[in-house]
Structure 1
Amino acid sequence: MLFDFLKDKELCSGNSMHYIILFNVSPPLGNVMKVIDTIKENENLKCLPMFLLTTSIDDKDIINSYTSHLNCYIVKPNDLEGLIKVLDTFKEFWLNIATLP
């Protein structure tokens, strides 16, 4: 569904809106990694910054995520206050400080 929405857009042409993709996934991460790999193989989409928000602290998941060119792996805090702080920090950095393609 996400790929269907994105596949015909020329998001890496420099002539489009800025997009980021934030996946909120519970383990196992297998299906989302397939989606990330599919997006990164597409010339029109591979420049999109992609982030993973998950409860997994498994080293294998972390390594596989970065090997698949994920831009950021975020482990969800266990409490609402911590999650709000993480999301506020994420928003501040990626939407106000970083330069997006």
Structure 2
Amino acid sequence: MNRNGDIVIIEDDKDDQFLFEEVFKELDYPNKRVYFNDGDAALDYLHLSTTVPFLVLSDINMPLLNGFELREKLKTDADINLKCIPYLFFSTALSQEMVIDAYSMSVQGFFVKPSSVLELTATIRIIIEYWKRCASPNNFD
């Protein structure tokens, strides 16, 4: 995990992308945000050897490659696993089955998109602060 790395946001809804960006600007975290509309584009980006993001926030229902399919590909990719990138779902869809499936894929969090900007801001702040404080195998010299 690279605490100073990009925050990858995989979200096909432009309105949600706008809200995420507004929240991150308000919170003033220095991490660059990189947005992708689908899992395929994010997968290509994550395969770049120079890419070591801070974390991934992924929607589930997306075109081409959905969040579950992307997570499965990332989980079985040794090169990407060595980067120790936290992978979290952020979705409006919620069911017990989805949460069980997510955690069985070693997802580090499953969050429901809040209905207000205030709640979204609080949730993003908690997520970022948690991962900024968390130790990771590749944070040692």
Measured against the shorter chain, the TM-score band is 0.7 to 0.9
Provide the C-alpha distance between the structure 1 equivalents of 2:60 and 2:104, rounded to a whole number of angstroms. Answer: 19
TM-score (norm 2): 0.58
**In the alignment, which of 80, 83, 90 is matched to residue 45 of structure 1?**
80
| Identity score, percent | 17
RMSD of equivalent CA atoms = 2.2
Counterpart contact for 2:60–2:67, Cα < 8 Å: no
Structure 2 runs not aligned, ≥5 long: 1-40
The aligned counterpart of 1:36 is 71
User: Counterpart of 2:89 in 1: which secondary structure?
Assistant: strand
Instruction: Summarize the alignment of residues 22-101 of structure 1 with structure 2, pairs less than 5 Å apart.
Output: 22-23=57-58, 25=59, 27=61, 31-46=66-81, 47-95=84-132, 97-100=133-136, 101=138
User: Counterpart of 1:84 in 2: which secondary structure?
Assistant: helix
Alignment-mate amino acid for residue 51 of structure 1: L
Flag as ranges the 4+ runs of structure 1 deviating above 4 A: none
Displacement of 1:27 in angstroms is 4.3
Provide the C-alpha distance between the structure 1 equivalents of 2:105 and 2:134, rounded to a whole number of angstroms. Answer: 21
TM-score (norm 1): 0.78
